[in-house]
């Protein structure tokens, strides 16, 4: 598959480097080709449209930490349901925030609180497939929390994060394309 995509990239005029030092410029690591490759990754918890009985307006995100699901309210009694990873014991939270910023293939700088717990973490990681924030991130208010992709799809449906809401890269791209800055996010236990 990579050789086919590499040939396609070359015919499109996109340089493909196999040198480790140039991995940041590798189109398989981030950007449109990486987004395309994520489409084919198997989902442990498939995304689906479900009945929605809540009173939330269309365009609202509702996260159920106990169900470990995120709902994007469509209106007309429907919502898109995604499997997510949530905060582990001692790191879960509930409340209301709004999306204040969106980024594609974001860089990651662990917050000071995380570095205090895990001094072995890098101080900076460029965006890409190995980055813990994955393909997209939606920043929640002035908090340290985000709804973001993950390079660990096996953690969907688990309580594993430091409070962020994790999604597969395939699902976070779908949600990112639906969400606007200002979207209301409700997190419930």
User: Catalytic positions, please?
Assistant: 148, 164
Gap between the Cα atoms of 189 and 84, Å rounded: 14
* C-alpha to C-alpha distances, 2 to 10, 26, 37, 78, nearest whole angstrom: 12, 12, 9, 38
The DSSP bridge partners found for residue 117 are none
Q: Are 92 and 163 in contact (CB under 8 A)?
A: yes
| Residue 123 φ/ψ, nearest 5 degrees | -80, -20
In sequence order, which residues have a C-beta less than 8 Å from that of residue 16 and are 6 or more positions away? Answer: 6, 9, 10, 26, 27, 28
Look at the chain and count its residues. 189
- Comparing CA positions, the residue from 168, 145, 151 lying closest to residue 87 is 145
């Amino acid at each position: 598959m990579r050789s086919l995509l590499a040939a396609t990239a070359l015919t499109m005029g996109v340089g493909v480097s196999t040198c480790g030092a140039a991995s940041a410029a590798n189109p398989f690591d981030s950007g449109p080709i990486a987004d395309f490759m994520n489409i084919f990754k198997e989902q442990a918890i498939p995304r689906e449209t479900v009945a929605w009985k809540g009173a939330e307006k269309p365009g609202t995100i509702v996260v159920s930490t106990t169900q470990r699901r995120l709902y994007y309210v469509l209106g007309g009694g429907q919502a898109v349901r995604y499997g997510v990873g949530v905060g582990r014991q001692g790191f879960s939270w509930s409340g209301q925030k709004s999306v204040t910023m969106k980024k594609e293939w974001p860089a990651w700088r662990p917050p000071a609180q995380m570095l205090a717990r895990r001094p072995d973490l890098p101080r900076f990681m460029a965006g890409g497939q190995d980055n813990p924030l994955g393909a997209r991130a939606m920043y929640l208010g002035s908090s340290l929390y985000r709804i973001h992709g993950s390079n660990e799809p096996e953690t969907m449906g688990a309580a594993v994060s430091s409070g962020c809401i994790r999604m597969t890269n395939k699902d976070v791209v779908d949600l990112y394309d639906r969400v606007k800055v200002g979207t209301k996010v409700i997190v419930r236990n």
